[in-house]
Amino acid sequence: MEVKEIKNSTLAQNPVIGQMLVNNHEQLLFCNDNATGLKAIIAIHNTVLGPSLGGTRMWNYTNEMEALTDVLRLSRGMTYKSSVAGLNLGGGKAVIIGDAAKVKSEALLRRFGKFVNSLGGKYITAEDVAMNSRDMEIIKMETDYVSGLPENMGGSGDPSPVTAYGVYVSMKASAKEAFGIDSLEGKKIFVQGIGNVGMHLVEYISKEGAKVYVYDINEDRIKNAVEKYNAEFVPADKMFDLDIDIYAPCALGATVNDETLSKLKCRVICGAANNQLADEKKHGELVMSKGILYAPDFVVNAGGIINVYYELEGYNRERAMAHAEKIYGTTWNIIQTAKTQNIPTYAAANKIAEQRIESIAKINAVL
């Protein structure tokens, strides 16, 4: 996809459209409503494959530029995630500026819903940080362009089981490359963060006979994983000293960084967390040079977007799970492309995502 190198001096003078030029964003909608206190930005990165879909994040950004940069980065990420997952969706995202605990209200969310509606379906929203399914129900009062609704409203409900299944099959594909066999039996796997996705993952891999290590800041969750799945708890200060086969980051982003890579002893990194590489280029190349196979996060955790995609067609969990299963083949193709072209796996995934968009853009041009 077309990208432009923009000089910092040019960006300083043109901080809005200048930033859109960098990754060829299609559209931004700035939303304001004094009565409700709504301040939001909706970013549509690319709609070649279909309507842009991505969650709404509510965050108390320190300034507008921080919010703009975030929404541009996140919406672009959605384009790549949906493309590589084979979905007919483009990339979009929204941010509402403000402290959710203080300013979120029914009126603010409904006003936001009206703005989403004004785009006529070019952007479909969903949950993200500081937004929940009840908020989606409220937004839905003003627009049909919402997904990720609760099951009792005809929605797809909690995406975590589908996401975890995608992580599991991706891990198996990665294991096949790294160990010559896709069975996880006997493999030592460290799952960092045993929340909604992590706990389902622990269930899959422990059933397959993996030796599972866990860490979470929540003691109840640790207790649960230890008692139910015979997992072994690892204290925070020891987790990157473990001698393991697979590291599965399922809590926070940026855990693959200079510090962790100086200690990490594993053959594979494959987990659900978003933005695992602190610096995509630097750490993507570093893992490769260390002989660690990194399964790109946006490929691995696509089960969540796959789940909401099927909600748009009248939800059916079997179809969502069947699509999530394809993440095995996608991961395998990306690993093979990276190997053949001698490039990091994240770069191979980006290429594959871009090639799909470019080829569909060509057929879209034909009457």
> What's the closest the beta carbon of residue 297 comes to ligand NAD, in angstroms?
8
**Cβ-based nearer residue to ligand NAD, 27 or 274:** 274
Q: Kindly tell me which residue out of 82, 192, 260, 345 binds ligand NAD, with binding defined by CB under 6 A.
A: 192
Active-site residue, from 93, 104, 140, 187: 93
User: Residue 232's closest CA among 217, 211, 246?
Assistant: 211
In the chain the first and final C-alpha atoms are separated, in Å, by 22
Site residues (CB under 6 A) for ligand NAD, limited to 266-295: 272-274
C-alpha separations of 324 from 83, 92, 164, 171 in Å: 14, 21, 9, 13
Catalytic annotation present for 93: yes
> What's the closest the beta carbon of residue 41 comes to ligand NAD, in angstroms?
20
**Cβ-based nearer residue to ligand NAD, 18 or 195:** 195
Angle at CA of residue 95, ends 279 and 46, nearest 5°: 70
Q: Is residue 196 near ligand NAD by the rule CB under 6 A?
A: yes
Name the β-bridge partners of 127: 56
Number of neighbours of residue 70 by Cβ within 10 angstroms: 18
**Minimal CB distance to ligand NAD: which residue?**
195
Site residues (CB under 6 A) for ligand NAD, limited to 150-189: 159-160, 163
Q: Kindly tell me which residue out of 89, 138, 171, 194 binds ligand NAD, with binding defined by CB under 6 A.
A: 194
355 HSE (CA, 13 A, CB side): 9
C-alpha separations of 208 from 7, 173, 177, 204, 367 in Å: 52, 14, 18, 6, 50
Q: Kindly tell me which residue out of 139, 197, 248, 306 binds ligand NAD, with binding defined by CB under 6 A.
A: 197
Q: Kindly tell me which residue out of 18, 37, 150, 195 binds ligand NAD, with binding defined by CB under 6 A.
A: 195
Write b or e for each residue in 155-171: b if 16 or more Cβ atoms lie within 10 A of its Cβ, otherwise e: bbbbbbbbbbbbbbbbb
> What's the closest the beta carbon of residue 15 comes to ligand NAD, in angstroms?
28
Residues that bind ligand NAD (CB under 6 A): 159-160, 163, 192-198, 215-218, 221, 250-252, 272-274, 301, 304
Q: Which residues are catalytic?
A: 93
